[in-house]
Structure 1
């Protein structure tokens, strides 16, 4: 559950920056961590249901997750070329400013601040609220009013932290990013153990029921790509990168494939204990999956798998 909060606190800053300009203090490792830390989060906990629903089977589901990683890498490399040509922080804003002028750049900024980011933040906090409240309502979905109130409390908390102190926001971001990665490692590690024990029945006939509609495949890609959101984050601090011509593309080539491998392993881990039907019916995939793993391991102590 802790993994959701960093996504709501995506504030990019430099502790060394000053009104006179940004200090180039972000190296390759920090760039990779920024990409990985901002990409991995909410999407991998809720998108698997939608990707599986529209792809129709385990096989195409895993292929779509892989293809989304490739597309994100290609898009990020295009951004890297822009970032090395227009070495200004701010992501898309300086590119729009250079290409189309101040009006288009202003409209983009207004749309981002007033529509895109608040909408994304609302989805993140509502999903967090559903995950947080699911254990208290076993066998049914949490009441809508409960999730709404919990989401509102999360929004107020995160907003207050960012308003009170940039340093405090950075501490919160770092803490929850670490927690997020630990959760991913636990899920993947348990999946590897179960695969080693022979839990592969859900991967047999992996392409049976594959969707043939272009619309369904498109929706599967849409949901998968949403989980890869954040691949352009390094362009927001281009001015602070050490040797951006080298660091920007190299961090992308390392960071996004790393996230892609992680996402594929997490989905494989889901399917080691959950059938496609169970995954589609789960209100909170990760929570249900962890519960099933605990039950399996508890049973396996007395009746090991042959």
Structure 2
């Protein structure tokens, strides 16, 4: 497209939507184009908030993590204890985040809290790691799980080909990204529907398990602690995989600016959502063990499908269908919140400017969503889910621990900030100590180059911070300016109004 056409298209867009340039205050202190500014809208209520938490947490984890948790604990008894302990830890962490989220009502989750407590460098390193690795890899893991369950019924007796799984995962990523880019309300409606669907399949599995226990299928619960593994590292890896299934407990903090009445709905969504998920997870694992021995569970390529084949015949097709709904809903929630983190980070100047723009028609952070989707497609190429989970969990808990620590720090450095929800200081202390254990335990017990690479990647973010943010090299802005202009016109996006 030549310069003249670009100029004409820009004029047409400005005539229809107003000037897309950032607001400037005139000599009288008013903003001439204040009526034309764009910003994220408060469209997420209590039900949608609960659905986002429950819908993101109950996703792929409960259908793929049971094997990894069992293999690292070695027996049924400690496996169930780990699932319960993960639920308690997720609740404690979420309560700390409720305190932070009602004190600092900005979207962006950990990024906003680290920025307030420790300044720009820790916040940037978090965003660097999360936007480039953690969030897109999480999106990729969930979509790979979705693809595995979607393809399994078409390959009875064997595992689906990896190429089929990868292609299905890529299609899911593209579809979810488009849904979230089109409309916040549409994404919320999809989330609410899929959350209802996944709760239905959880109820079916739990009820089937209760019936089987009533019929006397309790063999696998006898001597349930025989063969328990108690090594320092294996327990932490069991927690990694269990906590992966609970991941999503902090998702609502990424969209605080879009939450109606955040002082009420943020803590309520957490208090209702996470205990509900914890009870569901424990009961689902109990149901699994009513029909599968530990060895059979470890050998299953899709645990929930195996359960359905043995218990729900001839209606066993229900399980893979609803598991597909469940994983798709979790992926939708992951995409929804990851886009907001990228958006807020770019708005603060810690990512390229175009990622902080909002679509002027849809009022969605479409550039940030598309960027996250593109990285997720790259991450499905290896398709090694367990490696991705361990890498994801190690990186995540570094910053979960720092975020809990930020709450402790701000009790002393921000004494006069309003705190509608104030948790006892012992809660962030417990979360910080557990985070330190989860970070150090696998390294001490079984050193792996992957952990070193992860740490180096985080520290390597300092190079980009110094070059492109601290020194503000003018040549980088000159290079990005035409690129940003063309993308802005192509995607019809504009700078967002900053939240105070």
TM-score normalised over the length of structure 1: 0.83
In the other structure, the counterpart of 2:300 is 282
Match for residue 26 of structure 1 among 14, 33, 45: 45
In the other structure, the counterpart of 2:247 is 229
Whether contact under 8 Å (1:24, 1:239) holds in the other structure is no
**1:297 Cα offset (Å):** 10
In the other structure, the counterpart of 2:272 is 254
Q: More deviation in 154-163 or 273-282?
A: 154-163
Q: State the alpha-carbon separation in 2 of the partners of residues 146 and 21 from structure 1.
A: 37
Q: Tell me which structure has the larger Cα radius of gyration.
A: 2
- Change in 2 beyond 3 A, CA 1:207/1:161: same
Equivalent runs, 1:136-155 vs 2, <5 Å: 136-155=154-173
In the other structure, the counterpart of 2:54 is 36
Match for residue 75 of structure 1 among 63, 82, 93: 93
**1:30 Cα offset (Å):** 4.5
Equivalent runs, 1:196-275 vs 2, <5 Å: 196-241=214-259, 244-275=262-293
Q: More deviation in 278-287 or 162-171?
A: 162-171
Q: More deviation in 93-102 or 114-123?
A: 93-102
Q: More deviation in 194-203 or 91-100?
A: 91-100
Higher normalized contact order (CA 8 Å, seq sep 6+, divided by chain length) = 1
User: What's the CA shift string for 1:212-263, capped at 9, x where partnerless?
Assistant: 2121111111100110001112222334556544543343233211111110
Q: More deviation in 282-291 or 161-170?
A: 161-170
**1:276 Cα offset (Å):** 0.6
Say what the alpha-carbon RMSD is for the aligned residues.
2.5
Aligned partner of residue 189 in structure 2, secondary structure = helix
- Change in 2 beyond 3 A, CA 1:81/1:165: closer
Q: State the alpha-carbon separation in 2 of the partners of residues 41 and 166 from structure 1.
A: 20
- Change in 2 beyond 3 A, CA 1:101/1:167: same
Q: More deviation in 208-217 or 259-268?
A: 208-217
5+ unaligned residues in a row in structure 1: which ranges? 1-17, 299-306
Equivalent runs, 1:150-229 vs 2, <5 Å: 150-229=168-247
Q: State the alpha-carbon separation in 2 of the partners of residues 39 and 215 from structure 1.
A: 25
- Change in 2 beyond 3 A, CA 1:73/1:147: same
Number of residue pairs aligned between Structure 1 and Structure 2: 280
- Change in 2 beyond 3 A, CA 1:242/1:117: closer
- Change in 2 beyond 3 A, CA 1:70/1:284: same
In the other structure, the counterpart of 1:131 is 149
**1:116 Cα offset (Å):** 1.4
**1:194 Cα offset (Å):** 1.1
**1:19 Cα offset (Å):** 3.9
Match for residue 70 of structure 2 among 33, 52, 66: 52
Whether contact under 8 Å (2:74, 2:229) holds in the other structure is yes
Q: State the alpha-carbon separation in 1 of the partners of residues 275 and 125 from structure 2.
A: 33
Q: More deviation in 248-257 or 36-45?
A: 248-257
**1:41 Cα offset (Å):** 1.1
Q: State the alpha-carbon separation in 2 of the partners of residues 253 and 162 from structure 1.
A: 26
5+ unaligned residues in a row in structure 2: which ranges? 1-36, 317-500
Aligned partner of residue 162 in structure 1, secondary structure = helix
Match for residue 139 of structure 2 among 95, 100, 121: 121
Q: State the alpha-carbon separation in 1 of the partners of residues 271 and 174 from structure 2.
A: 36
Q: State the alpha-carbon separation in 2 of the partners of residues 120 and 289 from structure 1.
A: 25
Aligned partner of residue 209 in structure 1, secondary structure = coil
**1:278 Cα offset (Å):** 0.8
User: What's the CA shift string for 1:105-139, capped at 9, x where partnerless?
Assistant: 34433432222111111111112211122222222
Aligned partner of residue 207 in structure 1, secondary structure = coil
- Change in 2 beyond 3 A, CA 1:216/1:234: same
Aligned partner of residue 142 in structure 2, secondary structure = helix
- Change in 2 beyond 3 A, CA 1:174/1:32: closer
**1:292 Cα offset (Å):** 0.7
Q: More deviation in 242-251 or 136-145?
A: 242-251
